[in-house]
């Protein structure tokens, strides 16, 4: 019989990130995370495949949200309109109450090159899935890939701003501002 641990999953996540920050990702074991959360190692492995999954869980869902978002606008809209719809849907995944946890996760990843590679690969996967969704909607190459990759760049830049200390705007608003910026890059005077 599997024993029900109330809040076990989120207790494990909190404990993991605290340990990753205190002593490093490589130096932290699943057993330590479980102990710190007051749970058994077996419980840890009921929730996560390994310690890395604590940081990268939900990737399929994250990707699917972009894909579903791009299906929203009517046919005939510009590629960037589809991308904008995808980004808005993805931004909804990160309400205000997730900001602090996302900041801590970002600090863990910034401290570890292997985790950074993993994060880049995750974002590349989302971009490829979004490009496929755009082609599905009739956007030709190379526009589909360009629009999808640019969209992920916008999301990443906006996400970084959203995590900055003192930033108060909701993520969707930051995404909108960065997306608007993307369309002005061809305008002179930016480096006056």
| Residues at the interface with a second copy (CB under 8 A) | 75-83, 113, 116-118, 120-121, 124, 134, 137-140, 142-143, 145-147, 149-150, 153-154, 156-158, 161, 178, 181-192
Instruction: Please state the separation of Cα 32 from the chain's center in Å.
Output: 26
38 conformational bin, left if phi > 0, alpha if psi -120 to 50, beta if neither: left
What is the closest distance, in whole angstroms, from the C-beta atom of residue 45 to a second copy in the complex? 24
Q: Nearest Cα to 160, choosing from 149, 150, 171, 151?
A: 171
Instruction: Please state the separation of Cα 38 from the chain's center in Å.
Output: 28
Instruction: Please state the separation of Cα 150 from the chain's center in Å.
Output: 15
What is the closest distance, in whole angstroms, from the C-beta atom of residue 159 to a second copy in the complex? 11
CA–CA dist 109, 99 (Å, integer): 15
What is the closest distance, in whole angstroms, from the C-beta atom of residue 116 to a second copy in the complex? 7
Comparing CB distances to a second copy, the nearer of 46 and 182 is: 182
What is the closest distance, in whole angstroms, from the C-beta atom of residue 127 to a second copy in the complex? 9
> Which tokens hold the place of 150?
């640019």
> Which tokens hold the place of 1?
């019989």
């Amino acid at each position: 019989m599997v024993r029900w641990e109330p809040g076990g999953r989120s207790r494990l996540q909190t404990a993991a990130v605290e340990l990753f920050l205190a002593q490093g990702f490589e130096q932290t074991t699943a057993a330590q995370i479980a102990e710190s959360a007051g749970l058994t190692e077996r419980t840890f492995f009921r929730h996560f495949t390994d310690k890395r999954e604590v940081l990268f869980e939900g990737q399929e869902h994250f990707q699917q949200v972009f894909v579903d978002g791009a299906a929203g606008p009517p046919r005939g809209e510009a590629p960037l309109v589809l991308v904008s719809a995808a980004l808005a849907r993805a931004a909804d995944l990160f309400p205000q109450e997730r900001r602090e946890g996302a900041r801590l996760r970002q600090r863990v990843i910034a401290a570890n090159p292997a985790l950074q590679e993993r994060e880049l690969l995750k974002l590349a996967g989302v971009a490829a899935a979004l490009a496929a969704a755009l082609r599905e909607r009739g956007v030709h190459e190379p526009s589909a890939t360009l629009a999808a990759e640019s969209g992920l760049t916008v999301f990443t830049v906006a996400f970084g701003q959203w995590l900055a200390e003192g930033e108060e705007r909701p993520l969707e608003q930051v995404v909108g501002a960065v997306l608007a910026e993307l369309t002005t890059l061809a305008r002179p005077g930016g480096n006056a």
